[in-house]
């Protein structure tokens, strides 16, 4: 009898802990109408990343720093060695990739597969650094842009500002998962 009471208690507790999160879907046009592009001109993030291109996977770290219309993105392997750096300059709309590893061509090819053309790189940067206003701890947001589906989850607060904890970018057979460890506002 005691055993049956314990089992029923566990079942009731398990049913009571349903997740109350919901996902709101928005288009890029809706997103663009609500954001302030100049809100965070000096911002950086550090994150753990998981990347899948077709069936190949990669894990590592990402350090992304934006300051005065220039961004520096460092991609590190799991052992904290820099394997590639990407430099973005919004003023002259330039993109540079410098590879520091042995398989330079493969890394550069993968970076170009992920981000595509320059326009897409700057838009993805904007979507990472300036998340949708609808994002809360209980409201997940899915944003669509061309072939991209961007999922936002959770909130990290820095002062009065809120940033996402997790961002997942999906395009065709590419999935980039970004688990943000820290945000910094300079």
**More reliable by pLDDT, 46 or 10:** 46
Of the chain, the percentage scoring pLDDT greater than 90 comes to 21
Q: Is the pLDDT of residue 10 over 50?
A: no
**Tens-place pLDDT, residues 141-175:** 999 988 889 999 998 887 778 889 999 999 888 89
Q: Which two tokens stand for residue 112?
A: 């170009």
Q: Is the pLDDT of residue 20 over 90?
A: no
**Tens-place pLDDT, residues 53-104:** 888 888 999 999 988 888 898 988 888 888 888 888 888 888 787 876 666 6
Of the chain, the percentage scoring pLDDT greater than 70 comes to 80
pLDDT, residue 142, reads: 94
Q: Which two tokens stand for residue 35?
A: 């954001």
Confidence of residue 49 (pLDDT cuts 50, 70, 90): very high
The pTM for the full model equals 0.79
Share the mean pLDDT of the chain.
80
**More reliable by pLDDT, 60 or 119:** 60
Whole-number Å distance between alpha carbons of 69 and 74: 17
pLDDT, residue 7, reads: 44
Coil vs helix vs strand at 93: coil
pLDDT, residue 12, reads: 47
Contact (Cβ atoms closer than 8 angstroms) between residue 127 and residue 119: no
Residue 78 burial (CB < 10 Å; 0-12/13-18/19+)?
A: exposed
């Amino acid at each position: 009898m005691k055993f049956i009471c314990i089992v029923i208690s566990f079942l009731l507790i398990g049913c009571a802990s349903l997740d109350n999160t919901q996902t709101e879907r928005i288009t890029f046009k809706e997103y663009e109408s609500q954001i302030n592009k100049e809100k965070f001109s000096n911002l950086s993030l550090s994150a753990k990343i998981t990347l899948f291109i077709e069936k190949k996977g990669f894990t590592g770290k990402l350090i992304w720093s934006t300051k005065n219309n220039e961004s520096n993105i460092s991609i590190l392997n799991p052992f904290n060695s820099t394997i590639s750096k990407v430099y973005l300059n919004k003023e002259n709309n330039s993109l540079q990739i410098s590879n520091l590893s042995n398989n330079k061509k493969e890394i550069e090819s993968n970076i170009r597969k992920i981000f595509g053309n320059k326009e897409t790189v700057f838009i993805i940067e904007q979507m990472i650094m300036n998340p949708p206003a609808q994002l809360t701890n209980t409201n997940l947001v899915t944003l669509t842009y061309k072939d991209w589906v961007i999922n936002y989850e959770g909130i990290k607060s820095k002062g009065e500002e809120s940033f996402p904890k997790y961002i997942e970018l999906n395009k065709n057979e590419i999935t980039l998962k970004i688990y943000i460890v820290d945000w910094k506002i300079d």
